[in-house]
Structure 1
């Protein structure tokens, strides 16, 4: 395994799994997940609504996180059951939505019967999995004929071209850290939607949303919390200096700071 780019230290010989030391479910992570929903749900909802979500569809939400998208699907497809999976479903306690079924499920190991779902949605999941292509192949088998799979991940190109050296370095080094630690590929979404077509899906389409990020906004706070959750690893393993980390945190709170955030790439296809 190679080390991080731009002088980042070499990684160890083995990777840990998602949630072991990064993305651990604690109070700051629940706050980050809430912000993630507030910032990105409107974009996901807009695209899913255009693709077509209707009552009676059986849906699977993979990597449900805080549960906001799963609950939206419950409202759109009721009374049909929405299955919401994650490694930790503590934020998905049933009760608010009678047709919500939370399941502890590891998409890299656990399965569902073939042709189980009319719609499968996975946001910010596959890019974090080293075995993403194998998992994608398995997911498509869970779709019923005519069913739709929609996947969403970040595209990193706005960060690569940022003129702000501190902002660019902090996010690139964070990307290096999660790559070296759990196998995240922050640029895999550039393969959309061809990655779906390789597994037999048709009627492919995709689009990418590039958002402006302003210090002090919800989007800036989301990225501040995202980098902050890795503070110990970023500083302890030499990806960032204390000053570089603090400068990034200050930028994310500075209302005079503007730049482009990592883009959201969405792709979908039909079985």
Structure 2
């Protein structure tokens, strides 16, 4: 696949924007329940800057993180942005309080979400805009209408989806080209194997959210044995397994800790053997 560059650990979004496969997810840089500002805003900005210094050039956020505070934080910390930095954001949720998420796929809401993200991120173009959830109250074609308009207007470069099955991806693709899918997926939760395989076949990026989960207790002893062998942590092995699972997987582990950030980045350097991978799989 022309999008895969396994030798240097990169992937081309849309066959065009080359990014490193180990990125950073901004969700944890908010208050409790993904609500409000980061408790220590200066530390949060330092974490974002440290991620870039460590080589990250792919950051994932959403208008619903905060809501809105995460996008503003990223702009405050990193703008003017390095030319090679891809910031992906998402829209399609309304927030009414901590840990409360209400899907809203109404075209008016989507239109406002796109324009709001552009403003908060201080961007003229969003390189990757993702529909955070499909809203069953509206045909996806209707929800994606403003997205198509934004692509035509040059406000959005590429479009992705989140938490979708294969049929939903295929249906959306009839309205607008899709370059990525962001679904729950990790060592312990592989319910979306079919979607991962579909994206790999099509050369689309697959972005697991909650990538650090190491799964059920029955896996713990296997992981700890492999972790010891590699002088690594369980979290690092969980990341290494994902990177080996498929070359179209892009990782966005999030943290508000500089120490954990460094640990996650080192997880990208662990090369699991085929035997290690098979034991975990």
The answer, yes or no, to whether TM exceeds 0.5 is no
Query: Structure 1-normalised TM-score?
Result: 0.34
